[in-house]
Amino acid sequence: MFSKSSLLHLRIPFSYFLLPVFVFAVSQSPNLSEGGLMWIFIIMHFLVYPASNAFNSYFDKDEGSIGGLKNPPPVESGLYYLATLLDVLALALSVVFVNWKFAVLALVYIGISRAYSHPIIRIKKYTFGSWVLIGFFQGMLVYWAVYMGLNDFPLTFIFKPNVLYPAFLSSLVLYGAYPMTQIYQHEEDGKRGEITMSAKLGIRGTFYFTGAFFGLAMTLFYFYFDQKYNSSYNLIFLIAMTPILLYFIWWYWRVTNSIVNANYTNSMRLNFVSATFLGGFFLYVFLNSTNILSVAGQY
């Protein structure tokens, strides 16, 4: 269960790419507690996400590159039990150290994640359905979970406009990003008879699709921050988004010259650039809006 192969299939570094949703939710939270913040981060990024990766790897048994793992080792039977152990531990820690609302939303995430990969349900085999679901549970659902974990409001608060709208923006980013993570897996997914969103769109179509969603998401983010913070973050937001746009354009140019460039390495680089600069901007909003930067500047 704790073999090197199984530990690699947890793909813990891949959790970094999902960090912006966590930081965004934290930056928009009216209440913070250091203990709750720490436990939510640990539970999501070191237990829930890795368990989901492991569960997916166990049933997919990919031989080619997968998200966060360029050369995946053969899957061992203990990987299933390791994923289950991490899920159980995540739920137990959620109840003890966070609150029951966070635990419920984490349980929903785990359930959807398992339905996504398990052969009995296998949501992953549905082109449009899997795209919709991934964007929802890695975006809105995670935002809600972090927000409720930090604030412990009644669960109905997730439908209030000031919570629902930023949660929707989180999903919108994922709806654009998800097909790009599939762009190098067309052949591997095709072996299982699965047509992913990226395979349906084609290589260039995936770029157009992602570009359109990314543009829409960034426009709505811009207006969201403009309305909430009176333009104080507009310039910084545009500066933070520029490296992502430049890399995206550069990669598209490379792909137009040779389709071989639609590969794992370039896809992971885009994920890294996006997570770093988008997450970095959200971190800046959090530090500045909570006056942590002002306090730090006094010392």
Q: What are the distances in angstroms from CA 54 to CA 33, 43, 75, 180, 217?
A: 30, 15, 9, 21, 30
In the predicted structure, residue 299 carries a pLDDT above the cut 80: no
Q: Quickly list H helices, the chain.
A: 4-9, 19-27, 34-43, 49-60, 78-97, 100-117, 127-135, 141-151, 161-181, 186-191, 197-201, 203-229, 234-257, 264-289, 292-297
Dihedral sign computed on CA atoms, order 159, 163, 168, 170:
negative
What mean pLDDT is predicted for residues 122-129? 91
164 against 66, higher pLDDT = 164
Question: Strand, coil or helix: what is 67?
Answer: coil
In the predicted structure, residue 179 carries a pLDDT above the cut 70: yes
Tokens of 43: 């539970």
pTM (two decimals):
0.94
Mean pLDDT, all residues of the chain: 92
- Lowest-confidence region among 12-21, 25-34, 46-55, 283-292: 283-292
Return the pLDDT at 294: 53
pLDDT band at 257 (very low <50, low <70, confident <90, very high): very high
Q: What are the distances in angstroms from CA 72 to CA 35, 106, 215?
A: 35, 27, 33
Return the pLDDT at 2: 76
Return the pLDDT at 258: 93
Q: What is the DSSP annotation of 69-83?
A: BSSPPPP-THHHHHH
What mean pLDDT is predicted for residues 145-162? 95
Tokens of 148: 């409720």
Name the CA dihedral angle for 222, 226, 227, 230, rounded to a multiple of 10 degrees. Answer: 170
pLDDT band at 282 (very low <50, low <70, confident <90, very high): very high
At CA 241, angle to CA 235 and CA 245, rounded to 5?
135
What mean pLDDT is predicted for residues 53-71? 87
Return the pLDDT at 8: 93
User: Which domains does the chain carry?
Assistant: 4-292 (1.10.600)
What mean pLDDT is predicted for residues 22-43? 94
